[in-house]
Amino acid sequence: MVMKNKSKVKVIPLGGLGEIGKNMTAIEYDNEIIVIDCGLGFPDMEMYGVDLVIPDITYLLNNRDKVKGVMLTHGHEDHIGALPYVLKQLNVPVYGTRLTLGLVESKLEEHEMLSNCTLLEVKTGEEVKTENFRIEFIRSCHSIADACALAIHTPEGVIVHTGDFKVDYMPIDGDVIDLHQFAKLGSRGVLLLMADSTNVERPGYTVSERIIGDNLTGIFSKAKGRVIVATFASNTNRIQQIINSSLFYGRKVAFSGRSMEKISSMAMELGYMKLSEDQLISVDDINKYPSDKITIITTGSQGEPMAALSRIAYSNHRKITIEKGDVVIISASPIPGNEKLISKLIDELFRKGAEVIYNALEEVHVSGHACQEELKLMHTLIKPKFFMPVHGEYRHLKQHELLAENLGMDSKNIFVLENGQVLELNRNSAARSAKVTCGTVMIDGLGIGDVGNIVLRDRKHLSQDGVVTIVVTIDKASFSILSGPDIITRGFVYMKESGDLINEARGVVKAELDKCMESKIKDWFTIKSNIKYSLGGFLYNKTRRRPIILPIIMET
Amino acid sequence: MVMKNKSKVKVIPLGGLGEIGKNMTAIEYDNEIIVIDCGLGFPDMEMYGVDLVIPDITYLLNNRDKVKGVMLTHGHEDHIGALPYVLKQLNVPVYGTRLTLGLVESKLEEHEMLSNCTLLEVKTGEEVKTENFRIEFIRSCHSIADACALAIHTPEGVIVHTGDFKVDYMPIDGDVIDLHQFAKLGSRGVLLLMADSTNVERPGYTVSERIIGDNLTGIFSKAKGRVIVATFASNTNRIQQIINSSLFYGRKVAFSGRSMEKISSMAMELGYMKLSEDQLISVDDINKYPSDKITIITTGSQGEPMAALSRIAYSNHRKITIEKGDVVIISASPIPGNEKLISKLIDELFRKGAEVIYNALEEVHVSGHACQEELKLMHTLIKPKFFMPVHGEYRHLKQHELLAENLGMDSKNIFVLENGQVLELNRNSAARSAKVTCGTVMIDGLGIGDVGNIVLRDRKHLSQDGVVTIVVTIDKASFSILSGPDIITRGFVYMKESGDLINEARGVVKAELDKCMESKIKDWFTIKSNIKYSLGGFLYNKTRRRPIILPIIMET
């Protein structure tokens, strides 16, 4: 029986299933664990005030001696963003390609922990070896350069993890996704495929990045004023195409927004982006050139209120103001939840006189994820024995299951799992086994995990109806009111205009206190409960609102 | 000069421009005003705790004797939803078609004000006359039955308001949109066209409602369990098609959700929906029939947490639980802002074992608004002298302007306005004139307009970082602390686990108080400011959060 246990490979999803974000999977065999990706997620609507979320890594901490390293598929936040928090607790080597590590480096530098971390560069085609695993980095294609798929050779068979991918036969940065290697692995036999499910709902093929470049050039050819393009700072291929269009029409290029400036300068340094020195200008100098000789590449494509494009639109940018004739291109699509912010941003840009071009009008953005036909290609090349859809909301995983079934796969060989659910495999079989601890750790300011459900429930409650504080000072000896009750509210009603309501409320509290005193109730807890109850009822009747009520009794 | 003023027609948009929602336009001539529609809007993300918004009708109240009535184009909330609030302040007759008034009636009944209101039914093809206006109701087509366009005959010319429309050559409810009447008006000469801009970004034509019916029947033909369809309760044509598909496959139909039950029973009574008595069953009886003989038509297509479908999905519905084999159809598209709620709902339904079909997978919903080709048809038939795009975000209005220009219209005859901006016309000219009061009145519980910017700002602040209350009792005579400082927080940190932080915070406040006392600062305002400042700084350093700080000083 010990032998049997030893001979199983465990696939342990710690994040990324049933959600878009915080991707992280552990692969365990015997005394070793390797981790694939270490991403952050964005807070739900209900996570008031939370900045970001990361996976709960209790399982890894409980097995800390086993963990041999983190293998990164690419440099997007949902794959690398949790590293600063995770490495603080579990300092293991991090493996990835050049650009990916470049992005990790700048992140660790910000957290002042770079010098304590071990980053090990891997080239595509190379392998990382541990006692039990051989991890092959395979050239892939995504909306960021240097993206990889992984083939994890285990004693029980090969696991292929696609990472985030699409198939672009005409990539901007030269080499095509390594289909030959996938074919080779497939013909030799793959035990398990874990594949990107993001776009499984979309039929057909993802458009080539190159088409977007052609469309952008078309827009540049007609632009009579400045061209301002907002896109993801990490999409170096897109930015290269914007640079190329600018060059063609003799436009200088300025970068705006902290992450855009930072990542583009790093990408140029590492050779992932080419821009001659005389074409690059600072935003300080944009007014030295005619409008039709200027391109500004900026952050803020998601309508983020503090990002450069929003500041430009709402006239809060110190150096850039919208001028009539400006053409603004939103070269991105909304991350779910950001639709309204982006919509307001576009409206504001129109109001300021810009011409705004976005995906609903022209094809100026393309997804980085495989559509149905590309997924079918991957499944067909890999021919896995078992399949586990990853990287998607639950419905995406279910649709991906259906796609695999339609390709002839037996449904009992497909595993739609949730985070924490372990899949155990050996060369002949696969089965769900016990769950491990997993979950969402919320980060709010400097606090990691100190905001829990009670705090969130209160914040939600406060956001709906505000807070009403009642203070009264009582003389302990005589059990009589010395001062108060005073009422202070925030987020409930506008106090200056609601004087009557507040006065009446004070009366309600006073009456309740008198009643308690008459009945000789001297237990603060009961008195506070009674005040909450009567005042809550009174306020609800008057306003149909239920603010948080905080009765405070001071004894002297 | 008096004559000149008298002879102008004023078009006064009070809502619906630069936004989707709260549609309301006043048309004024001489001593008369008529109002087109009276809709509500949904609160912005930033309007924490606000239930709904309505237009500010100050202008109408200031001219109350002039207002002759409200003309309704159709019965959607964004066109009739503000009536209960507006009629309370301005009780004028309300004109509309039968189904529209049916919906208004049930709304006024809920507000217990039906008996005081005057609802006057108009048939399409008929007119309402006032001293200066002749208002023609023209049969249109939308995602609700009995929708109208209006031709307002004024002494200076005809104004055509399309209302919300699309062109469906194969409508479910018989008669086609009255293109002949639009053509007739166009050939006689139209002064101003006001047209729906919602779908101006979409090329081509809106799919016919009938195609959706065919698709639904296709899904019914394969369903082996119950079919549960979520759609808008007011879309009687869609519901009729769901009933027809059910009938064809011998399924009984049950309605679930308050508005679905209410509106469907009214629609059947008024003859807008046909369902034989033996096909209709109560949700109480669904378990008396085999699963493949049951259809449930339900509210909740927007993922609203309290609506029937969410309660079904999250197992909070008293009578309906998801069973394996259930087919759930979301026959609606997300209203912007609801994307994440709907996405979570779909995931949950999949988790519970249902097969879920939604627009990303199959065409089970179609918009009620005209796409570009339909808009071109309308512009071409009407041939207006002047054009004012309505019903849309600002970018929609701008795109609609572009569409009209592409059809050959002179840009100086097109007026992209904002709410409150008045357009003055006579038979030869049109121009913007002074602005009138307009805006958004927020409704929160029983409060109409009592939640203003300060309250909202506080709610937002509270939702991000919570509140910290500090109370201290001071002896007025000796100017010494009698009790406290005590600190109570909500939504800031989990107090039980942050005892040290709170203790340190108390120390910071105590030190600040001592300092004030030493410096003989006896002015409460200064003392409170100092406490806020030191405690705020301390907490930000420790947590990077900025809770609302409420220092309360009690004197005895």
Mean pLDDT of B383-387: 97
How many angstroms away from the CA of B456 is the closest CA of chain A?
A: 6
In the predicted structure, residue A177 carries a pLDDT above the cut 80: yes
> Which of A491, A493, A530, A496 minimizes the C-alpha distance to A510?
A530
What is the separation of C-alpha A79 from the centre of its chain, rounded to a whole number of angstroms?
A: 9
B157-161 vs B148-154, strand pairing mode: antiparallel
> Which of B21, B128, B27, B122 minimizes the C-alpha distance to B79?
B21
CB B98 within 8 A of CB B145: no
Residue A96 marked as a ligand binder: no
How many angstroms away from the CA of B255 is the closest CA of chain A?
A: 26
In the predicted structure, residue B65 carries a pLDDT above the cut 80: yes
What is the separation of C-alpha B282 from the centre of its chain, rounded to a whole number of angstroms?
A: 30
- Neighbouring residues of A146: CB distance < 8 A, sequence distance ≥ 6: A74, A75, A97, A98, A99, A100, A124, A272
> Which residues of A are less than 8 Å from B552 in CB distance?
469, 471, 486, 488, 552
Please give the pLDDT value at position A117: 95
Asked if A343 reaches chain B (Cβ–Cβ under 8 Å), the answer is: yes
In the predicted structure, residue A5 carries a pLDDT above the cut 80: no
Q: How confident is the model at residue B153 (pLDDT cuts 50, 70, 90)?
A: very high
> Which of A240, A241, A232, A233 minimizes the C-alpha distance to A213?
A241
CB B27 within 8 A of CB B61: no
| CB–CB contact B459 A466 (8 Å) | yes
Q: Tens of pLDDT along A181-233?
A: 999 999 999 999 999 999 999 999 999 999 999 999 999 999 999 999 999 99
Please give the pLDDT value at position A150: 98
Which whole-number Å values give the CA distances from B201 to A255, A294, A446, B400, in the listed order? 30, 28, 43, 8
| CB–CB contact B494 A451 (8 Å) | yes
> Which residues of B are less than 8 Å from A532 in CB distance?
none
- Coil, helix or strand at residue A409: coil
| CB–CB contact B49 A465 (8 Å) | yes
> Which of B428, B446, B504 minimizes the C-alpha distance to B7?
B428
User: What's the rounded Cα separation, in Å, for the pair B298 and B320?
Assistant: 11
Amino acid at B37: D
Mean pLDDT of B206-216: 94
| CB–CB contact B463 A467 (8 Å) | no
Whole-complex ipTM: 0.86
Asked if B462 reaches chain A (Cβ–Cβ under 8 Å), the answer is: yes
- Neighbouring residues of B556: CB distance < 8 A, sequence distance ≥ 6: A473, A475, A482, A483, A556, B473, B474, B475, B476, B482
Find the range with the poorest average confidence among A237-251, A479-493, B23-37.
A479-493
**Catalytic residue selected from B161, B369, B396, B400:** B369
DSSP string, A185-247: HHHH-EEEEEEE-TTTTS-S-PPPHHHHHHHHHHHHHH--S-EEEE--TT-HHHHHHHHHHHH
In the predicted structure, residue A4 carries a pLDDT above the cut 50: no
Asked if A271 reaches chain B (Cβ–Cβ under 8 Å), the answer is: no
| CB–CB contact A556 B556 (8 Å) | yes
Please give the pLDDT value at position B520: 78
Q: How confident is the model at residue B6 (pLDDT cuts 50, 70, 90)?
A: low
Interface-testing mutation among B46, B467, B474, B524, with chain A (most A C-beta atoms within 10 A)? B467
Asked if B360 reaches chain A (Cβ–Cβ under 8 Å), the answer is: yes
Amino acid at A485: P
Residue of A nearest to B446 (CA): A543
In the predicted structure, residue B113 carries a pLDDT above the cut 60: yes
Q: How confident is the model at residue A2 (pLDDT cuts 50, 70, 90)?
A: very low
User: What's the rounded Cα separation, in Å, for the pair A70 and A108?
Assistant: 15
Please give the pLDDT value at position B496: 67
Mean pLDDT of B451-476: 88
Q: Tens of pLDDT along B271-329?
A: 999 999 999 999 999 999 999 999 999 999 999 999 999 999 999 999 999 999 999 99
Q: Which two tokens stand for residue A217?
A: 């050039």
Mean pLDDT of A3-11: 74
Q: How many Å is the maximal CA-CA distance in chain A?
A: 90
Q: Tens of pLDDT along A376-402?
A: 999 999 999 999 999 999 999 999 999
Residue B486 marked as a ligand binder: no
Find the range with the poorest average confidence among A88-102, A471-485, B133-147.
A471-485
- Residues of A with a catalytic annotation lie at 196, 369
Q: In percent, how much of chain B has pLDDT > 90?
A: 78
Q: How many Å is the maximal CA-CA distance in chain B?
A: 90
- Neighbouring residues of A518: CB distance < 8 A, sequence distance ≥ 6: none
How many angstroms away from the CA of B201 is the closest CA of chain A?
A: 6
Asked if B64 reaches chain A (Cβ–Cβ under 8 Å), the answer is: no
| CB–CB contact A447 B493 (8 Å) | yes
CB A428 within 8 A of CB A157: no
Asked if B319 reaches chain A (Cβ–Cβ under 8 Å), the answer is: no
Neighbours of B250 (CB within 10 A): 10
Would you put residue B250 in left (φ > 0), alpha (ψ -120 to 50) or beta?
left
In the predicted structure, residue A3 carries a pLDDT above the cut 50: no
| CB–CB contact A462 B337 (8 Å) | no
CB B51 within 8 A of CB B122: no
Interface-testing mutation among A411, A494, A495, with chain B (most B C-beta atoms within 10 A)? A494
Q: What are phi and psi of A501, to 5 degrees?
A: -60, -45
Please give the pLDDT value at position B246: 96
Q: Which two tokens stand for residue B432?
A: 């913007």
Residue from the list A395, A491, A543 with its beta carbon closest to the beta carbon of B446: A543
Please give the pLDDT value at position B321: 94
> Which of A211, A286, A269, A217 minimizes the C-alpha distance to A247?
A217
CB B242 within 8 A of CB B214: no
| CB–CB contact A555 B497 (8 Å) | no
Find the range with the poorest average confidence among A340-349, B174-183, B446-455.
B446-455
Question: Could you identify the residue written with the tokens 């779910």?
Answer: A336
> Which residues of A are less than 8 Å from B462 in CB distance?
459, 462-463, 466-467, 490-491
How many angstroms away from the CA of A136 is the closest CA of chain B?
A: 34
Asked if A45 reaches chain B (Cβ–Cβ under 8 Å), the answer is: yes
How many angstroms away from the CA of A135 is the closest CA of chain B?
A: 33
Asked if B201 reaches chain A (Cβ–Cβ under 8 Å), the answer is: yes
The answer to whether B196 is a known catalytic residue is yes
Residue B369 marked as a ligand binder: yes
Neighbours of B537 (CB within 10 A): 12
User: What's the rounded Cα separation, in Å, for the pair B532 and A102?
Assistant: 42
Asked if A338 reaches chain B (Cβ–Cβ under 8 Å), the answer is: no
Q: Which two tokens stand for residue B344?
A: 């979570």
User: What's the rounded Cα separation, in Å, for the pair A276 and A319?
Assistant: 23
Query: Which domains does chain A show, CATH number per domain?
Result: 2-204+367-441 (3.60.15.10), 209-357 (3.40.50.10710), 453-555 (3.10.20.580)
Find the range with the poorest average confidence among A26-40, A76-90, B31-45, B509-523.
B509-523
Residue from the list B445, B471, B494 with its beta carbon closest to the beta carbon of A471: B471
What is the separation of C-alpha B493 from the centre of its chain, rounded to a whole number of angstroms?
A: 36
Mean pLDDT, all residues of chain B: 93
Please give the pLDDT value at position B219: 96
Residue of B nearest to A358 (CA): B201
Q: How confident is the model at residue B453 (pLDDT cuts 50, 70, 90)?
A: confident
Find the range with the poorest average confidence among A41-45, A106-110, B197-201, B276-280.
A41-45
Q: Which of residues 393-422 of A touch B (CB under 8 A)?
A: 393-395, 398-399
Work out the burial of residue B410: count CB atoms within 10 Å of its CB; fewer than 13 is exposed, 13-18 middle, 19 or more buried. exposed
> Which residues of B are less than 8 Å from A402 in CB distance?
none
How large is the angle between the packed helices B236-248 and B209-222, nearest 10 degrees?
Answer: 30
- Neighbouring residues of A39: CB distance < 8 A, sequence distance ≥ 6: A15, A16, A21, A22, A23, A24, A55, A76, A77, A78, A79, A80, A81, A82
Residue A233 marked as a ligand binder: yes
Mean pLDDT, all residues of chain A: 93
Residue of A nearest to B51 (CA): A464
Helix (H) or strand (E) holding A149: strand A148-154
Asked if B339 reaches chain A (Cβ–Cβ under 8 Å), the answer is: yes
How many angstroms away from the CA of A423 is the closest CA of chain B?
A: 18
Q: In percent, how much of chain A has pLDDT > 70?
A: 98
Q: Tens of pLDDT along A239-293?
A: 999 999 999 999 999 999 999 999 999 999 999 999 999 999 999 999 999 999 9
Number of H helices, E strands in chain B: 16, 26
Torsion of CA B490, B496, B502, B504, to 10 degrees: -170
Interface-testing mutation among A327, A344, A350, with chain B (most B C-beta atoms within 10 A)? A350
Percent helix, strand, coil in chain A (nearest 5)? 35, 25, 40
Q: How confident is the model at residue A1 (pLDDT cuts 50, 70, 90)?
A: very low
Q: Which of residues 208-247 of B touch A (CB under 8 A)?
A: none
> Which residues of B are less than 8 Å from A48 in CB distance?
463-464, 491
Asked if B304 reaches chain A (Cβ–Cβ under 8 Å), the answer is: no
Helices (H), A339-482: 339-351, 372-382, 394-406, 453-465
Q: How confident is the model at residue B495 (pLDDT cuts 50, 70, 90)?
A: low
Asked if B445 reaches chain A (Cβ–Cβ under 8 Å), the answer is: yes
User: What's the rounded Cα separation, in Å, for the pair B430 and B435?
Assistant: 15
In the predicted structure, residue B3 carries a pLDDT above the cut 60: no
Q: Which residue has the higher pLDDT, B239 or B473?
A: B239
In the predicted structure, residue A431 carries a pLDDT above the cut 90: yes
Find the range with the poorest average confidence among A2-11, A68-77, A541-550, B34-43.
A2-11
> Which of A164, A142, A166 minimizes the C-alpha distance to A374?
A166
In the predicted structure, residue B497 carries a pLDDT above the cut 80: no
Residue B111 marked as a ligand binder: no
Q: How confident is the model at residue B556 (pLDDT cuts 50, 70, 90)?
A: confident
Work out the burial of residue B538: count CB atoms within 10 Å of its CB; fewer than 13 is exposed, 13-18 middle, 19 or more buried. middle
Mean pLDDT of B255-281: 93
**Sheet with B440-444, side-by-side order of all strands:** B52-55, B440-444, B447-448
Q: How confident is the model at residue A474 (pLDDT cuts 50, 70, 90)?
A: confident
| CB–CB contact A351 B462 (8 Å) | no
Find the range with the poorest average confidence among A360-364, A422-426, A492-496, A536-540.
A492-496
How large is the angle between the packed helices A453-465 and B453-465, nearest 10 degrees?
Answer: 180
A32-36 vs A67-71, strand pairing mode: parallel
Please give the pLDDT value at position A411: 95
